[in-house]
Structure 1
């Protein structure tokens, strides 16, 4: 199956890297020339698989599945000039843009799947939200992480909002690492230990099929213990409720 990418930014780079380094790499990928440096880098890294098109239309002419990875504010500028085929499967990655909004921009193509991949798809980990579920699209994403197919587009939009916490998460980890370094720990060791600890906690949380994270929190807090003390201090300073206004602000921005 031939894949094409209109838009060659960070997410395209991550998806293509993940696909090409998976156990079942695609036979042919076409990327648009808009970001020439990234496009040429991908073609150089994955010779014989990744091809740099001379125009966006060339991408569409040479693919069966087309990933739209352009900035949402550019969709009216770029998409109307492209000629889609009825047999195209369109994977749309544009933030804040619903499938009904995309329909007139990609017709006569009618199979449209909206997806929210993350940069970590490059190393085959992390969630990939999709709507609606589609066998071909899910099979492409399966090697790149955990595919979460939702039954309503509104649910996908909520999951997409949560991705705005990538930078805050790294900021939290950085804060811990900075503190460790000030205590005399080598920065690399502090970063490795902290990231590994949070990674392990995420694996445990993901294993809870019922989503009961409150129980996990309680299990970590021995009365009078260190975790209980840390939780008490954090709660007294406003706790993690400060995350909610951030999520609401992102929701308003993409609505």
Structure 2
């Protein structure tokens, strides 16, 4: 253990936690000494084998006992079960990655610790790409996350809930690319050409969106839609079919779930049949 470095514990070592730790250790950088829970043995040992700043605790209580800052990277469904037996210390800082737990809901589970932050990193932070959010903007936590992508510091917990809802569109994004790829494949193009082609198009558009975000995406939509051209027609047809409205309605539903006002079983009215059942 290095003198002067924060001791950071990770309770729950899944996909997001692996990406987060990988990003913080990228390029041999040593931002902290990390102590991982042993539950996901394969991931924990893979990380420990790559980075000298990482150790594996005997159990979750060992992670808490050996850490100044504790990241909670567990699923909401098991959060209460995992956290209730653990004994925290008053001076510890807690960073929750638990999607649907606000600070008030976490307080009794980590007491007597009272310094609680919420962060939303995404898988690309492993390569220091994409975006991640932090509420509140605690300097010590921000220093750990800085440079892992575009770090957005938030002053209101409501803002992190809204940003969290938007992250639910990752699967939809790749689903869109899959639909485009399937259409091309049905025209006789092989997957070895189709997928790199589609990936390259959308990768370039993503780079444009990031570089010119200040211009406004509505302006970019106009610039990429020549009057009377193919792009203008495609965008017109998708909007007329209600595509943009469905995105907003879906985000409203996900946002309600993040805030505990909806569940996994809730769905949009348009996705129910006359009997009120979910469409297959």
* C-alpha distance in 1 between matches for 2:139 and 2:256: 32
- CA offsets per residue over residues 93-145 of structure 1, 9 Å max, x none? 11111112212221222221100111111111111111000111111111311
Structure 1 unaligned blocks of 5 or more: none
- Superposed, 1:186-197 pairs within 5 Å as 186-197=190-201
* C-alpha distance in 1 between matches for 2:248 and 2:235: 18
- Superposed, 1:133-172 pairs within 5 Å as 133-172=137-176
Question: What is the deviation of 1:6?
Answer: 0.4
Structure 2 unaligned blocks of 5 or more: 1-5, 261-280
- Give the corresponding residue for 2:17: 12
Question: Aligned to 1:144, what secondary structure does the other structure show?
Answer: coil
- Superposed, 1:175-186 pairs within 5 Å as 175-186=179-190
Question: What is the deviation of 1:90?
Answer: 1.0
Report whether the alignment pairs 1:60 with 2:61: no
- Picking from 229, 244, 248, the partner of 1:244 is 248
Q: Which has the higher helix share?
A: 1
* C-alpha distance in 1 between matches for 2:173 and 2:185: 18
Question: Aligned to 2:39, what secondary structure does the other structure show?
Answer: coil
Question: Aligned to 2:146, what secondary structure does the other structure show?
Answer: helix
* C-alpha distance in 2 between matches for 1:151 and 1:208: 25
* C-alpha distance in 2 between matches for 1:170 and 1:21: 26
Task: Count residues with an aligned counterpart.
Answer: 254
Instruction: State the superposition RMSD in angstroms.
Output: 1.9
- Superposed, 1:225-244 pairs within 5 Å as 225-244=229-248
Question: Aligned to 2:132, what secondary structure does the other structure show?
Answer: strand
- Superposed, 1:37-116 pairs within 5 Å as 37-46=42-51, 48-116=52-120
- Give the corresponding residue for 2:268: none
* C-alpha distance in 1 between matches for 2:152 and 2:224: 28
Question: What is the deviation of 1:80?
Answer: 2.5
* C-alpha distance in 1 between matches for 2:49 and 2:178: 33
- Give the corresponding residue for 2:38: 33
CA contact (8 A) 1:29 1:51 kept: yes
Q: What is the TM-score with the length of structure 1 in the denominator?
A: 0.92
Question: What is the deviation of 1:232?
Answer: 2.6
Question: What is the deviation of 1:242?
Answer: 1.7
CA contact (8 A) 1:4 1:65 kept: yes
Q: Residues 230 and 118 (structure 1 numbering): CA distance in 2 closer, same or farther, change over 3 Å?
A: same
- CA offsets per residue over residues 181-219 of structure 1, 9 Å max, x none? 333444243323322322222232233454621111111
- CA offsets per residue over residues 46-96 of structure 1, 9 Å max, x none? 3x2221211111111222211001112222222232121222221111111
